[in-house]
Amino acid sequence: VYTATGRPADAVPLLEDCLPRLRAALGPVHESVAVAAASLADAYRRTGRVADALPLYAECLRARLAAFGPDHPYTDVARSDQ
């Protein structure tokens, strides 16, 4: 919500806290992990932290490839974020 309402800097610490917890609980290829990684990447990008965003976009793509395969629409969205 913070990122969507123009407050991505407020979203960053929350997402930074959430993502490692999701990875630990669900593993690296779960869709919830992919969503959280993409959300944090988007917040980083919107706050000018592009170098921090890129590995998270890649993580999201890897997770979606593993979960859905190369031809799924979710994978295509992650691919377009690269």
pLDDT at 1: 80
Q: What is the pLDDT of residue 41?
A: 97
Burial class (CB in 10 A: 0-12, 13-18, 19+), 1: exposed
Residue 12: CB atoms within 10 A of its CB come to 19
pTM for the model stands at: 0.91
Mean pLDDT of the chain: 94
User: What pLDDT was estimated at residue 4?
Assistant: 83
Other CB atoms within 10 Å distance of the CB of residue 33: 25
